[in-house]
Amino acid sequence: MARLISLVEDGHPALPEVMAALAPYGGHAHVIGLTGSPGVGKSTTTAALITAFRDAGRRVAVLAVDPSSPFSGGALLGDRIRMEQHATDPDVFIRSVASRGHLGGLSFATPQALRVLDAAGFDVVLVETVGVGQSEVEVAARADTTVVILAPGMGDGVQAAKAGILEIGDVFVVNKADRDGADETVRELRHMIQLGNREQSVGWRTPVVRTVASRGDGTPELVQALTAHRHWLGESGRLEARRRERARSEIEAIALAELRRRIGGADGLVSDALASSVSRGDTDVYAAAREVLGRVTGEGTRQ
């Protein structure tokens, strides 16, 4: 699995063949995304969930998206350090992947890496995002269930709304609930959720779970909420809809990447000559864009 995920990260030429071989074995794992600002306890919560799922006899994989090293481009491996107590469990697989500058809190390789882990027969796949604040809502498009983790003193309900997390969260967790301000954070979250009318619009009553992940407090309630959401997804038909949209975005991303590779040439999709023409004012940006599209459609620069 580690080697296959490395092929995914490197964009190896054999990747299409590998994905074709794995395709019949996927579609069974419950993919759970965990997101939130830095310092709220995502890694600690992930470790607590691993313990809970393993106690229930479920095989667990973790894809922890770490910030990239500015020198090597690799993952900093901070999340794996926090989960070292599970390293010797043969039914737990933990892999850090580098974001490599990709915005949205995930790595560009995340979708295909998830397919590798799903095909390997894991019951649960946990995806932990980088923790970049207001730009990491992309996890909602990659997971069956999205868990948004907050902590007292890390920002109020208005900040949560600004970050867009009220729209993506299926389950909310107020971690470090033994700290001052936890009750206020829970009240604000519930109030903002009610204002958004999410319960009526999607038919799912969004829970707010209190945890102290470092002690395991609240973890059983969180697992119960995740299990309930998975059942609701299946019964309502939303699971198939979410996975269809996930597949649509994957297909589009791969097709666009291949298109760039085929028509870009040495200068990339936009040549240096065309960029220079725009920067000098000889060509406007719309005409240049039409020229690029003309290469794709074969229509030249006809208007």
Q: What is the largest CA-CA distance in the chain?
A: 67
Print burial letters for 190-214: b (CB count within 10 Å at least 16), e (below 16).
eebbeeeebeeeeebebbbbbbbbe
**Confidence label for 259 from pLDDT (cuts 50, 70 and 90):** confident
Second-level CATH architecture of 2-237: 3-Layer(aba) Sandwich (3.40)
Percent of the chain with pLDDT over 90: 43
Q: Which residue has the higher pLDDT, 138 or 8?
A: 8
> What tokens does 298 get?
């074969």
pLDDT at 302: 45
Pairing verdict, β 60-66 and 208-210: unpaired
pLDDT of residue 87 exceeding 60, the answer is yes
pLDDT of residue 57 exceeding 90, the answer is yes
pLDDT tens for 170-207 read: 999 999 999 999 999 899 888 888 876 555 556 888 99
pLDDT tens for 102-137 read: 434 345 678 889 999 999 999 999 998 866 444 456
Average pLDDT over residues 218-235: 97
Q: Element (H or E) spanning 34, and its range?
A: strand 30-35
Q: Element (H or E) spanning 161, and its range?
A: helix 157-163
Question: Which of 88-102, 150-164, 237-251 has the least mean pLDDT?
Answer: 150-164
SS3 58: coil
**Nearest alpha carbon to residue 221 among 183, 156, 165, 172:** 172
pLDDT at 49: 96
pLDDT at 155: 59
**Segments making up each domain of the chain, as ranges:** 2-237, 249-297
> What tokens does 255 get?
């097709």
